Amino acid sequence: MKLIFKVLTGFVLVSLLFAPGSGLWGCAPAAPSSIRIGYLLGDLHHLPFFVAQDKGFFTDEGLDIEVVGPFEAGPAEMDALAAGQIDMGYVGMAPAVMAAARKIPLSIVSGVNLEGSGLVTHTDISSVPQLKSKKIATPAPGSIQYVMFGMLLSANNLSFNDIELFPGTVKPPDMPQSLQTGRIDGYFVWEPFVAKSVVGGYGKVLVESKDIWPGHPCCVIVAGGDFVRSRDGAVASVIRAHLRAIDYIEANPAEAKAIAGKWTRLDPDVIDNAFQRVKYTSALSGEDVKRFVKEIIDLGETGSIKPIITVDEVPDADKFVATIVDTKFLQR
């Protein structure tokens, strides 16, 4: 009888030692996977990130997100990626492409939104040709707003040489006030800084970005090259939470706007107005990225914008885009 008791006791003890969750076996729950993610200041385009963080979608994926930022502009965020200060980031497609052209190893792994930018001017400006000799602000060269403004001018037989341009010298959050005080006559930027002047009554949307390029890509999720290779499971988890957040925004717009207000401190009227111009989607098209690269090169060669990517840097757009656009996480 003692022998049987000892055998049973040993069996129970061994079972406890190697039971899942005991901490003494490989089945023990893993610690949350830590990921450093960057985002831009007051950017409504990044609402899926705010929602995923606020609603615990990242936590549900077993992720421990370290929020880094906010960054004032995309190029600064890409510098942080290059320096190893962030692993992933919500950022404009253009700064990601510029960074890749500078040989910073990265992958574009998901879309975030389409459209959602615009040219805001004083209310007395009624056409693009009237911008000649006017003071216009844009984010820094390497932003999609800078490039799309160049596309708009070129379509109207103008170039950056025909206006007084402030590229990157007026920060996007300061653009509405600079317009209101008369420091500038207009600006081309992303939401919510378009809506802010409209709701304030001192500016109007002269041209929406969708009028220049319907359905154009805007913000994306990027991941550092080494991070994609070594932590592809974590990247996939981020994308799952991101997709869930986009679905939540579509199904619960009022709650999504409340989360936007919490993260951006914006007036609800501004958020409502901005929502009219932003389309949230994970869609990621290599063809759209390639078109953007070619637009940058063409505009630089014609003198419409300052050259920021040259044919020497990207001799083969197809090969370049195939290297940086990675849709396998979305396809999963």
Number of domains present in the structure of the chain: 2
| 60 and 124 fall within a common domain | no
The strand order across the sheet containing 63-71 reads 63-71, 33-40, 88-92, 219-224, 106-111
Q: What is the pTM of this model?
A: 0.86
Q: Would you say residue 269 lies in a domain?
A: yes
What's the confidence (pLDDT) of residue 162?
Answer: 96
Pair (200, 66) in one structural domain? no
Domain shared by 108 and 228, yes or no: yes
74 located within any domain:
yes
| Sequential DSSP letters for 18-56 | TSTTSSSSTTSPPPPEEEEEEEETT-GGGHHHHHHHHTT
- Do both 137 and 82 map to the same domain? no
In a domain, 8, yes or no: no
The answer to whether residue 12 sits within a structural domain is no
Q: Is 323 found in the same domain as 232?
A: yes
- Asked if the structure places residue 27 within a domain, the reply is no
Quote the pLDDT of residue 7. 34
Task: Look at residues 212, 234, 266 and tell me which one is the last residue of a structural domain.
Answer: 212
Predicted pLDDT at 32: 65
How far is 218 from 190, CA to CA, in rounded Å? 9
Asked whether residue 109 falls in the same domain as residue 223, the answer is yes
Shared domain check, 129 and 105: no
Say if 302 falls within a structural domain. Answer: no
Using CA atoms, how far apart are residues 64 and 293, in angstroms rounded to an integer?
34
Range of the domain at 273: 33-115+217-284+312-331
User: Is 95 inside a domain boundary?
Assistant: yes
pLDDT value, residue 302: 86
Same domain, 55 and 166: no
**Where among 161, 184, 212 does a domain terminate?**
212
Domain boundary among 212, 243, 266: 212
* 8 token code pair: 């049973």
Please give the radius of gyration of the chain, using alpha carbons only, rounded to the nearest integer: 24
Query: Is 244 in the same domain as 271?
Result: yes
Q: Which residues of the chain have pLDDT under 50?
A: 1-30
Give the SS3 label for residue 11: helix
Domain shared by 182 and 111, yes or no: no
Residues 132 and 190 in one domain: yes
| pLDDT at residue number 16 | 35
Q: Measure the CA angle with vertex 313, ends 309 and 317; round to 5°.
A: 80
Domain membership flag for residue 304: no
233 plus 324 within the same structural domain: yes
The per-residue pLDDT for 18 is: 35
What is the token pair recorded at 180? Answer: 């209101």
For residues 191 and 277, give the distance between their C-alpha atoms in angstroms, rounded to a whole number: 8
DSSP code per residue over 226-273: HHHHH-HHHHHHHHHHHHHHHHHHHH-HHHHHHHHHHHH---HHHHHH
Token pair, residue 236, equals: 């996939």
- The pairing of strands 186-190 and 106-111 is unpaired
CATH number of the domain to which 260 belongs: 3.40.190.10
* Contact assessment for residue 147 and residue 276, using Cβ atoms and an 8 Å cutoff: no
